[in-house]
Amino acid sequence: MSYINRSTQKHSTRTARAKSKRKAKGVAVTAVALSVVSLTLSGFAVYSYLKQHTASSVVKHSTTAVVSANLAGKNEGTVVQPSTKPGPSTPAETTPPAATPTDSKAANSEPVKQSAVKQPKVIYLTFDDGPSKHTQEIMDILARYQIHGTFFMIGNQLSGHEQTVKDAVEAGNYVGLHSMSHDKKKIYESGNSDNFINEFKQEQKLMAKITGVSPTLIRAPYGSKPEIGEQFRGDIADAGFKMWDWTVDSQDWRSSDNPKRILKEVKRQVHRDTEVILMHEKAQTVEILPEVIEYLQKKGYAFAVYKPNHHVSVNFAKDKRL
Ligand SMILES: [Zn+2]
Protein backbone atom coordinates (compact mmCIF):
# COMPACT_ATOMS: atom_id res chain seq x y z
CA MET A 1 0.00 0.00 0.00
CA SER A 2 2.73 2.36 0.88
CA TYR A 3 4.17 1.78 -2.54
CA ILE A 4 1.08 3.14 -4.11
CA ASN A 5 1.45 6.22 -1.98
CA ARG A 6 5.01 6.62 -2.98
CA SER A 7 4.16 6.05 -6.59
CA THR A 8 1.48 8.64 -6.44
CA GLN A 9 3.87 11.00 -4.82
CA LYS A 10 6.46 10.26 -7.44
CA HIS A 11 3.97 10.74 -10.21
CA SER A 12 2.65 13.99 -8.90
CA THR A 13 6.16 15.27 -8.43
CA ARG A 14 6.85 14.39 -12.01
CA THR A 15 3.75 16.17 -13.13
CA ALA A 16 4.83 19.17 -11.12
CA ARG A 17 8.23 18.94 -12.69
CA ALA A 18 6.76 18.77 -16.17
CA LYS A 19 4.66 21.80 -15.38
CA SER A 20 7.56 23.71 -14.03
CA LYS A 21 9.48 22.78 -17.14
CA ARG A 22 6.81 24.10 -19.48
CA LYS A 23 6.72 27.20 -17.38
CA ALA A 24 10.45 27.59 -17.72
CA LYS A 25 10.20 27.26 -21.50
CA GLY A 26 7.44 29.84 -21.70
CA VAL A 27 9.47 32.19 -19.62
CA ALA A 28 12.48 31.77 -21.85
CA VAL A 29 10.44 32.70 -24.96
CA THR A 30 9.02 35.72 -23.23
CA ALA A 31 12.48 36.76 -22.21
CA VAL A 32 13.60 36.90 -25.81
CA ALA A 33 10.55 38.89 -26.88
CA LEU A 34 10.64 41.38 -24.08
CA SER A 35 14.26 42.34 -23.93
CA VAL A 36 13.62 44.97 -21.27
CA VAL A 37 12.63 42.47 -18.58
CA SER A 38 14.86 39.75 -19.90
CA LEU A 39 17.29 39.87 -17.03
CA THR A 40 14.60 39.39 -14.41
CA LEU A 41 12.91 36.62 -16.34
CA SER A 42 16.11 34.74 -17.04
CA GLY A 43 16.68 34.87 -13.34
CA PHE A 44 13.35 33.22 -12.85
CA ALA A 45 14.16 30.56 -15.45
CA VAL A 46 17.31 29.70 -13.57
CA TYR A 47 15.30 29.54 -10.39
CA SER A 48 12.82 27.17 -12.04
CA TYR A 49 15.63 25.02 -13.32
CA LEU A 50 17.19 24.79 -9.89
CA LYS A 51 13.86 24.13 -8.28
CA GLN A 52 13.16 21.36 -10.72
CA HIS A 53 16.46 19.68 -9.98
CA THR A 54 15.98 20.01 -6.30
CA ALA A 55 12.60 18.36 -6.70
CA SER A 56 14.19 15.51 -8.60
CA SER A 57 16.66 14.94 -5.83
CA VAL A 58 13.87 14.96 -3.28
CA VAL A 59 12.13 12.22 -5.22
CA LYS A 60 15.29 10.18 -5.15
CA HIS A 61 15.65 10.44 -1.43
CA SER A 62 12.07 9.86 -0.54
CA THR A 63 11.49 6.85 -2.71
CA THR A 64 12.28 4.10 -0.30
CA ALA A 65 14.18 1.23 -1.75
CA VAL A 66 13.24 -2.11 -0.37
CA VAL A 67 16.10 -3.64 -2.14
CA SER A 68 19.45 -4.97 -1.55
CA ALA A 69 20.24 -2.89 -4.50
CA ASN A 70 23.06 -3.37 -6.88
CA LEU A 71 24.33 -1.20 -9.62
CA ALA A 72 23.85 -3.02 -12.83
CA GLY A 73 27.04 -4.73 -13.82
CA LYS A 74 28.87 -3.83 -10.65
CA ASN A 75 29.46 -5.75 -7.51
CA GLU A 76 29.34 -2.81 -5.26
CA GLY A 77 25.66 -2.53 -4.57
CA THR A 78 24.81 -1.31 -1.14
CA VAL A 79 22.17 -2.70 1.09
CA VAL A 80 20.02 0.33 1.36
CA GLN A 81 16.80 0.63 3.15
CA PRO A 82 16.02 3.29 2.44
CA SER A 83 18.78 4.36 0.13
CA THR A 84 21.32 6.56 1.74
CA LYS A 85 23.45 6.95 -1.33
CA PRO A 86 22.11 9.90 -3.27
CA GLY A 87 22.98 11.10 -6.71
CA PRO A 88 22.67 9.69 -10.20
CA SER A 89 24.88 6.76 -9.30
CA THR A 90 22.32 5.51 -6.81
CA PRO A 91 21.19 2.09 -7.88
CA ALA A 92 17.70 1.55 -9.06
CA GLU A 93 15.50 2.87 -6.31
CA THR A 94 12.83 0.37 -6.20
CA THR A 95 9.16 0.73 -5.88
CA PRO A 96 9.00 -2.96 -6.17
CA PRO A 97 6.59 -4.59 -8.44
CA ALA A 98 4.47 -3.51 -11.31
CA ALA A 99 3.26 -0.48 -9.42
CA THR A 100 3.45 2.49 -11.74
CA PRO A 101 3.85 2.77 -15.43
CA THR A 102 7.07 4.48 -16.31
CA ASP A 103 6.70 8.07 -17.33
CA SER A 104 8.68 7.69 -20.48
CA LYS A 105 7.97 11.23 -21.62
CA ALA A 106 9.69 12.63 -18.58
CA ALA A 107 12.45 10.08 -18.92
CA ASN A 108 13.16 11.11 -22.50
CA SER A 109 13.13 14.81 -21.96
CA GLU A 110 16.05 14.80 -19.56
CA PRO A 111 18.44 12.31 -21.04
CA VAL A 112 21.09 11.58 -18.44
CA LYS A 113 19.56 12.46 -15.10
CA GLN A 114 16.16 10.90 -15.65
CA SER A 115 17.49 7.48 -16.54
CA ALA A 116 18.61 7.05 -12.94
CA VAL A 117 15.09 7.67 -11.67
CA LYS A 118 13.48 5.29 -14.13
CA GLN A 119 11.42 2.49 -12.61
CA PRO A 120 13.86 -0.24 -11.70
CA LYS A 121 13.44 -3.89 -12.41
CA VAL A 122 13.49 -6.19 -9.41
CA ILE A 123 14.52 -9.77 -8.79
CA TYR A 124 13.64 -11.81 -5.74
CA LEU A 125 15.92 -14.82 -5.49
CA THR A 126 14.22 -17.62 -3.56
CA PHE A 127 15.81 -20.80 -2.23
CA ASP A 128 13.68 -23.77 -1.22
CA ASP A 129 14.09 -26.95 0.78
CA GLY A 130 16.71 -25.83 3.28
CA PRO A 131 18.20 -25.61 5.71
CA SER A 132 20.93 -27.81 4.33
CA LYS A 133 24.68 -28.07 4.04
CA HIS A 134 24.41 -25.51 1.23
CA THR A 135 22.63 -22.77 3.16
CA GLN A 136 25.84 -21.16 4.36
CA GLU A 137 27.40 -21.29 0.89
CA ILE A 138 24.39 -19.56 -0.62
CA MET A 139 24.45 -16.90 2.09
CA ASP A 140 28.17 -16.33 1.48
CA ILE A 141 27.58 -15.75 -2.22
CA LEU A 142 24.69 -13.36 -1.53
CA ALA A 143 26.85 -11.49 0.96
CA ARG A 144 29.64 -11.20 -1.60
CA TYR A 145 27.26 -9.40 -3.94
CA GLN A 146 25.73 -7.48 -1.06
CA ILE A 147 22.27 -8.78 -1.80
CA HIS A 148 19.74 -10.88 0.10
CA GLY A 149 17.63 -13.90 -0.58
CA THR A 150 14.26 -15.26 0.48
CA PHE A 151 14.51 -18.79 1.85
CA PHE A 152 11.68 -21.28 2.27
CA MET A 153 12.77 -23.84 4.82
CA ILE A 154 11.39 -27.21 5.81
CA GLY A 155 10.40 -27.53 9.48
CA ASN A 156 11.66 -31.07 9.92
CA GLN A 157 15.14 -30.01 8.82
CA LEU A 158 15.55 -27.15 11.27
CA SER A 159 16.96 -29.28 14.04
CA GLY A 160 20.75 -29.17 13.93
CA HIS A 161 20.75 -26.10 11.68
CA GLU A 162 19.49 -23.61 14.23
CA GLN A 163 22.56 -21.41 14.11
CA THR A 164 22.55 -21.22 10.31
CA VAL A 165 18.88 -20.27 10.29
CA LYS A 166 19.50 -17.60 12.88
CA ASP A 167 22.47 -16.30 10.90
CA ALA A 168 20.37 -16.16 7.76
CA VAL A 169 17.82 -13.92 9.43
CA GLU A 170 20.45 -11.77 11.13
CA ALA A 171 22.24 -11.24 7.82
CA GLY A 172 19.07 -9.67 6.42
CA ASN A 173 17.63 -12.57 4.47
CA TYR A 174 13.99 -13.53 4.82
CA VAL A 175 13.32 -17.03 6.07
CA GLY A 176 9.87 -18.21 5.10
CA LEU A 177 8.01 -21.45 5.69
CA HIS A 178 7.82 -24.52 3.48
CA SER A 179 5.81 -26.93 5.70
CA MET A 180 7.09 -29.39 8.28
CA SER A 181 7.19 -32.53 6.19
CA HIS A 182 7.21 -31.45 2.52
CA ASP A 183 5.16 -34.61 2.09
CA LYS A 184 2.64 -34.29 -0.69
CA LYS A 185 0.45 -37.01 0.71
CA LYS A 186 0.34 -35.58 4.20
CA ILE A 187 -0.38 -32.01 3.27
CA TYR A 188 -2.65 -32.26 0.23
CA GLU A 189 -4.50 -35.54 0.28
CA SER A 190 -6.70 -35.08 3.33
CA GLY A 191 -9.42 -33.42 1.29
CA ASN A 192 -9.13 -30.09 3.09
CA SER A 193 -6.57 -27.54 4.23
CA ASP A 194 -6.29 -28.73 7.84
CA ASN A 195 -3.05 -30.69 7.67
CA PHE A 196 -1.45 -28.11 5.45
CA ILE A 197 -2.24 -25.23 7.78
CA ASN A 198 -1.33 -27.21 10.89
CA GLU A 199 2.10 -27.96 9.48
CA PHE A 200 2.73 -24.35 8.64
CA LYS A 201 1.56 -23.16 12.05
CA GLN A 202 3.80 -25.69 13.72
CA GLU A 203 6.76 -24.57 11.66
CA GLN A 204 5.98 -20.93 12.31
CA LYS A 205 6.25 -21.54 16.05
CA LEU A 206 9.49 -23.44 15.69
CA MET A 207 10.96 -20.69 13.57
CA ALA A 208 9.93 -18.02 16.05
CA LYS A 209 11.66 -19.96 18.80
CA ILE A 210 14.87 -20.20 16.82
CA THR A 211 15.08 -16.76 15.24
CA GLY A 212 12.74 -14.58 17.26
CA VAL A 213 10.87 -13.79 14.07
CA SER A 214 7.52 -15.33 13.22
CA PRO A 215 7.39 -15.70 9.44
CA THR A 216 4.10 -15.14 7.63
CA LEU A 217 5.20 -15.90 4.09
CA ILE A 218 4.88 -19.50 3.01
CA ARG A 219 5.59 -21.45 -0.11
CA ALA A 220 3.48 -24.52 -0.77
CA PRO A 221 5.60 -27.58 -1.51
CA TYR A 222 5.49 -28.20 -5.28
CA GLY A 223 3.74 -24.88 -5.77
CA SER A 224 0.07 -24.07 -5.28
CA LYS A 225 -1.09 -25.60 -8.55
CA PRO A 226 -3.07 -27.77 -8.91
CA GLU A 227 -3.55 -28.85 -5.29
CA ILE A 228 -4.69 -25.58 -3.79
CA GLY A 229 -8.10 -24.28 -4.82
CA GLU A 230 -10.01 -21.15 -3.98
CA GLN A 231 -11.43 -22.33 -0.65
CA PHE A 232 -8.03 -23.70 0.37
CA ARG A 233 -6.44 -20.34 -0.46
CA GLY A 234 -9.05 -18.59 1.64
CA ASP A 235 -8.18 -20.85 4.56
CA ILE A 236 -4.50 -20.01 4.17
CA ALA A 237 -5.29 -16.30 4.17
CA ASP A 238 -7.59 -16.66 7.18
CA ALA A 239 -4.77 -18.38 9.06
CA GLY A 240 -2.73 -15.19 8.61
CA PHE A 241 -0.34 -16.39 5.94
CA LYS A 242 0.70 -15.03 2.59
CA MET A 243 1.74 -17.50 -0.07
CA TRP A 244 4.29 -17.16 -2.81
CA ASP A 245 4.64 -19.22 -5.92
CA TRP A 246 7.15 -17.92 -8.47
CA THR A 247 7.42 -16.30 -11.89
CA VAL A 248 10.60 -18.04 -13.03
CA ASP A 249 11.34 -21.72 -12.50
CA SER A 250 15.07 -22.25 -12.78
CA GLN A 251 14.53 -26.02 -12.79
CA ASP A 252 17.77 -26.28 -10.90
CA TRP A 253 16.70 -29.49 -9.12
CA ARG A 254 16.97 -31.43 -12.37
CA SER A 255 20.22 -29.90 -13.57
CA SER A 256 22.72 -31.55 -11.25
CA ASP A 257 24.80 -32.70 -14.20
CA ASN A 258 24.65 -29.36 -15.97
CA PRO A 259 24.56 -26.15 -13.89
CA LYS A 260 24.78 -24.06 -17.07
CA ARG A 261 21.29 -25.20 -17.87
CA ILE A 262 20.06 -23.31 -14.82
CA LEU A 263 21.51 -20.09 -16.18
CA LYS A 264 19.98 -20.87 -19.54
CA GLU A 265 16.54 -21.30 -17.98
CA VAL A 266 16.87 -18.02 -16.13
CA LYS A 267 17.91 -16.25 -19.32
CA ARG A 268 15.01 -17.80 -21.21
CA GLN A 269 12.36 -16.86 -18.65
CA VAL A 270 13.36 -13.53 -17.15
CA HIS A 271 11.66 -10.59 -18.85
CA ARG A 272 9.22 -8.97 -16.41
CA ASP A 273 9.86 -5.92 -14.28
CA THR A 274 9.43 -8.03 -11.15
CA GLU A 275 10.55 -11.63 -11.10
CA VAL A 276 10.51 -14.21 -8.33
CA ILE A 277 12.98 -16.94 -9.20
CA LEU A 278 12.53 -20.43 -7.82
CA MET A 279 15.75 -22.17 -6.87
CA HIS A 280 16.71 -24.85 -4.37
CA GLU A 281 19.53 -25.49 -1.97
CA LYS A 282 21.47 -27.71 -4.35
CA ALA A 283 25.16 -28.05 -5.20
CA GLN A 284 24.55 -27.11 -8.84
CA THR A 285 22.65 -24.02 -7.75
CA VAL A 286 25.53 -22.91 -5.55
CA GLU A 287 27.90 -23.44 -8.45
CA ILE A 288 25.98 -21.34 -10.96
CA LEU A 289 24.56 -18.70 -8.58
CA PRO A 290 27.30 -16.09 -9.12
CA GLU A 291 26.78 -16.25 -12.88
CA VAL A 292 23.03 -15.97 -12.46
CA ILE A 293 23.43 -12.89 -10.25
CA GLU A 294 25.89 -11.24 -12.62
CA TYR A 295 23.67 -11.93 -15.61
CA LEU A 296 20.71 -10.31 -13.87
CA GLN A 297 22.79 -7.32 -12.82
CA LYS A 298 23.83 -6.79 -16.42
CA LYS A 299 20.18 -6.90 -17.41
CA GLY A 300 19.64 -3.94 -15.07
CA TYR A 301 17.87 -5.73 -12.23
CA ALA A 302 18.15 -4.78 -8.59
CA PHE A 303 17.75 -7.50 -5.98
CA ALA A 304 15.06 -7.39 -3.35
CA VAL A 305 14.31 -9.47 -0.32
CA TYR A 306 10.79 -10.17 0.89
CA LYS A 307 9.48 -7.68 3.42
CA PRO A 308 6.16 -8.42 5.15
CA ASN A 309 5.36 -4.72 5.35
CA HIS A 310 5.80 -4.36 1.62
CA HIS A 311 4.08 -7.52 0.52
CA VAL A 312 3.94 -8.29 -3.15
CA SER A 313 1.32 -10.81 -4.23
CA VAL A 314 2.86 -13.64 -6.27
CA ASN A 315 0.68 -16.70 -6.70
CA PHE A 316 -0.42 -18.65 -9.75
CA ALA A 317 -4.10 -17.97 -9.12
CA LYS A 318 -3.44 -14.21 -8.80
CA ASP A 319 -5.39 -14.37 -5.55
CA LYS A 320 -5.03 -10.99 -3.90
CA ARG A 321 -5.90 -12.40 -0.49
CA LEU A 322 -2.46 -13.95 -0.50
ZN1 LIG B 1 10.19 -27.71 -1.90
pLDDT of residue 116: 56
- Determine the Cα–Cα distance for residues 272 and 106; give it in Å rounded to an integer: 22
For residue 282, pLDDT over 80 is answered with yes
In Å, what is the CA distance from 138 to each residue of 87, 195, 253? 31, 31, 15
Q: How far is the CA of 119 from the centre of ligand 1 (A)?
A: 32
How do residues 115-144 score in pLDDT, each as one tens digit? Answer: 556 778 999 999 999 999 999 999 999 999
Continuous segment of H or E residues that includes residue 218: strand 217-218
How do residues 145-171 score in pLDDT, each as one tens digit? Answer: 999 999 999 999 999 999 999 999 999
pLDDT of residue 117: 65
Domain ranges within the chain, ordered by starting residue? 1-117, 121-310
- Determine the Cα–Cα distance for residues 266 and 296; give it in Å rounded to an integer: 9
For residue 78, pLDDT over 70 is answered with no
Average pLDDT value over all residues in the chain: 76
- Spatial neighbors of 178 by CB under 8 A, at least 6 apart, are 128, 129, 152, 153, 154, 155, 203, 218, 219, 221
Q: Tell which CATH architecture fits domain 121-310.
A: Alpha-Beta Barrel (3.20)
Q: How far is the CA of 281 from the centre of ligand 1 (A)?
A: 10
Residues with CB under 5 A from ligand 1 (ion): 128-129, 221
For residue 315, pLDDT over 60 is answered with yes
Q: How far is the CA of 278 from the centre of ligand 1 (A)?
A: 10
Q: Which of 51-55, 197-201, 247-251, 282-286 has the lowest mean pLDDT?
A: 51-55
pLDDT of residue 120: 84
How do residues 84-94 score in pLDDT, each as one tens digit? Answer: 333 333 343 35
Give me the percent of the chain exceeding a pLDDT of 70.
Answer: 63
The catalytic site residues sit at 128, 280
- Determine the Cα–Cα distance for residues 57 and 114; give it in Å rounded to an integer: 11
Q: How far is the CA of 182 from the centre of ligand 1 (A)?
A: 7
Q: How far is the CA of 252 from the centre of ligand 1 (A)?
A: 12
Integer-rounded Cα radius of gyration of the chain:
23
CA 181 to mean position of chain CA atoms: 28
